[in-house]
Amino acid sequence: MVIKDIEREEVDFIAKTINAVPIPHIEQFTKDKLGNANLVEERKSDGDKKVIYVTGCPVQSKTVSILVRGSN
């Protein structure tokens, strides 16, 4: 799966979560740099906002996300 429009500071977090290695250019893409997860899905939140859910990660003890929502 390709995730577009990702913030730069989120790349390391996601790579660490799925045991992937970030690559700067497609020419450096090799199988050993791929990560894995059981399920990656994009869900809609309020209106047009989207949230990426990654579940079944190989090293679940290294990262955690908490989504906190509230009113203005």
pLDDT band at 2 (very low <50, low <70, confident <90, very high): low
pTM reported for the whole predicted model: 0.60
Judge whether 33 and 23 are in contact, CB under 8 Å: yes
Containing structural domain, residue 37: 1-72
Mean pLDDT of 32-44: 86
Judge whether 15 and 7 are in contact, CB under 8 Å: no
Looking at the structure of the chain, the number of domains it has is: 1
Q: Which amino acid does the sequence have at 30?
A: T
Judge whether 20 and 35 are in contact, CB under 8 Å: yes
- Residue 45: both structure tokens together: 């939140």
pLDDT score at 61: 54
pLDDT score at 50: 78
